[in-house]
Amino acid sequence: MEFFQTKEPEVKKPIVIAAMQDMGNVGSIVINFINDSLNTRKFRTAKSQYLSFVIDKGGYIDVPTESWDYRFAEGLIMFGGGTGQPQNNQELNSLCQDVIDISKRYSVKFIYTLGGFHTNRKLNRNPKTFVTATSKELTKQLHGMGIETTQKSVITGFNGLILGFAKQNEIQGIGLYGELNDPKVPQYRAAISIIKTLEKLTYRKLGDLSSLELMAQEIEKSFEH
């Protein structure tokens, strides 16, 4: 993994929201939405040195460049989005460690991550978001806010590992996981649910959700025919 820093972000003790593409594209939908909504500015890029796939353009292949951006706005650092995660454990761990290093460099006190949570429960276009935290004390605070927490499970990939790295480095963290039924379809309603929960936790408005609502309706219409 290679890292390129192009400028110093103008932030003071920000929070970090870091997530990568996962089931239902939830991580990327949320990260890309917040970046667009808050007009965040890029200051650092992580670039993979390994190929995890190629793109067949119909008779010939294209070699993709996999990279993920760090962006910032007032009081906020965003990381991730993109079209995939490293398929190599070493690269995945390097990415997590770099997020921690950046967090320490800019005196970050809190890291949020997010993703999809596969369930067989009938959602009726109203998925819930469940959260998990880096300490029991934090979990108690979340319960006090009326936020539902996850059940026992194993969380793989960046959107789980980054919480482990945060805990090991004594940085508080919360993971938010939105319910979804079909991991192969972009899950805009799960993303909406996560953003609403993020707004409640961070006490800040992250954007007008009407565009995501329209995307959710378009997906739903395509399955009605």
Phi, psi of 100 (to 5 degrees): -65, -45
Which top CATH class is 2-224?
alpha beta
User: Residues 2-24: pLDDT tens digits?
Assistant: 999 999 999 999 999 999 988 88
CA 68 to chain CA mean position, Å: 12
CA 225 to chain CA mean position, Å: 31
pLDDT reported for residue 225 = 58
Global confidence as pTM? 0.92
Distance between CA atoms of residues 152 and 163, nearest Å? 15
What residues contact 139, with CB distance under 8 A and at least 6 apart? 132, 133, 149
User: Residues 97-111: pLDDT tens digits?
Assistant: 999 999 999 999 899
Q: 122: pLDDT confidence band, cut at 50, 70 and 90?
A: confident
60 exposure class (CB count in 10 Å sphere: 0-12, 13-18, 19+)? exposed
User: Residues 16-67: pLDDT tens digits?
Assistant: 999 998 888 999 999 999 999 999 999 999 998 877 678 898 999 988 778 8
113 vs 121 pLDDT, higher one: 113
